[in-house]
Amino acid sequence: MKKQTLVRIAGQSIVKNKMRTLLTMLGIVIGVGAVIVMVAVGHGAQSTIEQQIGNLGTNLIMVTAGSSQQGGVSQGAQTFNRLTVDDAEKLSREATLVAGVSPVINSRGQVIGGDGNWRTSIQGVSTAYPVIRGWETSSGDFFTDADLNAKRKVVLLGATVAANLFPGQDPVGQQVQVRSVPMTVVGVMAAKGQTANGNDMDDVVLLPYTTMQSRLSGGMFIGQVIASTTDANEIPAAQEEIRALMRESHRQGDGEPDDFTIRNQNELAAAATGTTQVMSWLLAAIASVSLVVGGIGIMNIMLVSVTERTREIGIRMAIGARGGDVLLQFLVESVVMSLLGGVIGLVVGYGGAALLGHLTGWSTSTPPAAVMIAVGFSAAVGVFFGFYPARKAAALNPIEALRYE
């Protein structure tokens, strides 16, 4: 029997029982739609996290404090801080694989100016900071090396701080007090948004680290040193170079463990997106259970169809149809129903994902691979669950089938 004839007969059979066909396909529609929605939500969350981590900087490498031990008991990460500005300056002078290095001195305090006051994060950084972080100003300019060397009292405001202290105004040139120290606003940083853990990156003020040390912190040790490479492929080699220079700076022997910790942006991204990816595929696997339920529905309906069309099968066999032709006919009907349900499920899934994103504000994104898997799985369901009814039809005895009432 020709393939075109098989498809035409399958189509006629499906159209003949419209309501039963729609109810049969409903399980496949719901299954494929649920898989698409779950994967879209998971993939959208993964893309959002990757974007947020990308906002931290370009090929970012972070050097933070190491761990300490008391009585043989580890006190955990960042409990032993020996990082100094000298470490950052040494890396800036001698490291050959980094595009920029900046110390970061962290503190918190009250900033007063404009229409009120705002408690925020205060960071002392170098002129390489905006290059490392890939962070431009929306108004004004970043401070210069001359400002850094002269320990000038200049400051840049994050978008959140600027919006709260100077709503609807350009604060460049205005005076603010950072912990009672008067400073001049030279710029406003462009909005960055939130980090992956929900912290507001724009809730910050930036000033020269020299000014921070002499006017505000007064401490010898700093919070961290950040650096970046021009190429992501150079990050591993740059980390090893930084490790060697840091050990030399801290005069550590060959057998001593590092008294600092080095991490890179890719490690953070892999950890965050790995968890999200596992969750998204887990949700998709749970949703695919409804595809199996839909397949069982197809098998039940096909068994009923075989029983109803027993005489028709007997007539076809009597006029020359082989068992393989009958098997293929019913198998095509099953696959056609599954594929139709899969296509409708795709439309429902895309619409559901878009509606969910609109109502909740979540980012949704459906990867092409998920579409191919969902449609392929729906076709496989049709073959798997349609094979038994088709085989039963092909195994009928033509004489007994003609006698069937």
Q: pLDDT per residue over 183-199, tens digit each?
A: 999 999 999 877 656 67
Averaged pLDDT for residues 371-392? 75
pLDDT digits (tens, 9 = 90+) for 272-291: 556 666 766 676 676 667 77
Answer left, alpha or beta for residue 153, where phi above 0 means left and psi between -120 and 50 means alpha. beta
Query: 124, 215 in Cβ contact below 8 A?
Result: no
CA angle 266, 268, 272 (to 5 degrees): 115
pTM score above 0.85: no
Are residue 109 and residue 231 in the same domain, yes or no? yes
HSE-up (13 A, CA, CB side) for residue 94: 14
Token pair recorded at residue 19: 């309501």
Query: 196, 57 in Cβ contact below 8 A?
Result: no
Are residue 278 and residue 227 in the same domain, yes or no? no
Most confidently modeled of 248-252, 264-268, 288-292, 395-399?
Answer: 248-252
Q: Which of these, 398, 377, 384, lies nearest to 325 by C-alpha position?
A: 398
Domain boundary among 258, 291, 318: 258
Residue 268 is assigned to a structural domain of this protein: no
Q: What percent of the chain has pLDDT over 90?
A: 24
Of 63-67, 96-100, 301-305, 397-401, the one with minimum mean pLDDT is 397-401
Burial class (CB in 10 A: 0-12, 13-18, 19+), 384: middle
Are residue 143 and residue 98 in the same domain, yes or no? yes
What gap in Å lies between CA 33 and CA 344, rounded to an integer? 8
The secondary structure of 24-79 as a DSSP string is HHHHHHHHHHHHHHHHHHHHHHHHHHHHHHHTT-SSEEEEEEB--EETTEE--TT-
Are residue 126 and residue 230 in the same domain, yes or no? yes
Residue 263 is assigned to a structural domain of this protein: no
Q: What percent of the chain has pLDDT over 70?
A: 76
- H/E stretch holding 102 reads strand 100-113
Residue 36 is assigned to a structural domain of this protein: yes
pLDDT of res. 51: 62
Are residue 281 and residue 238 in the same domain, yes or no? no
Are residue 231 and residue 333 in the same domain, yes or no? no
Q: Which of these, 300, 338, 325, lies nearest to 393 by C-alpha position?
A: 325
Number of domains the chain is built from: 2
CA 206 to chain centre: 29
Averaged pLDDT for residues 91-116? 90
- H/E stretch holding 249 reads helix 235-249
CA angle 338, 341, 346 (to 5 degrees): 125
Are residue 126 and residue 252 in the same domain, yes or no? yes
Are residue 94 and residue 227 in the same domain, yes or no? yes
What gap in Å lies between CA 125 and CA 31, rounded to an integer? 53
Residue 115 is assigned to a structural domain of this protein: yes
Residue 369 is assigned to a structural domain of this protein: yes
Query: 404, 317 in Cβ contact below 8 A?
Result: no
Domain boundary among 225, 258, 291: 258
| Average pLDDT of the chain, as a whole number | 79
Are residue 39 and residue 151 in the same domain, yes or no? no
pLDDT of res. 6: 63
What gap in Å lies between CA 303 and CA 387, rounded to an integer? 10
Are residue 113 and residue 243 in the same domain, yes or no? yes
CA distances from 324 to 237, 332, 340 (A): 63, 12, 24
CA distances from 118 to 113, 168, 175, 197, 203 (A): 9, 16, 14, 22, 9
Averaged pLDDT for residues 312-338? 73
Residue 75 is assigned to a structural domain of this protein: no
- HEC per residue, 208-247: EHHHHHHHHHCCCECCEEEEECCCHHHHHHHHHHHHHHHH
Are residue 168 and residue 114 in the same domain, yes or no? yes
Most confidently modeled of 2-16, 38-52, 140-154, 289-303?
Answer: 140-154
Residue 267 is assigned to a structural domain of this protein: no
Domain boundary among 227, 258, 289: 258
- H/E stretch holding 124 reads strand 116-125
State yes or no: pLDDT of 68 exceeds 60: no
Residue 20 is assigned to a structural domain of this protein: yes
State yes or no: pLDDT of 401 exceeds 70: no
Q: How confident is the model at residue 2 (pLDDT cuts 50, 70, 90)?
A: low
Are residue 219 and residue 345 in the same domain, yes or no? no
Query: 150, 124 in Cβ contact below 8 A?
Result: no
Q: Which structural domain range is residue 198 located in?
A: 81-258
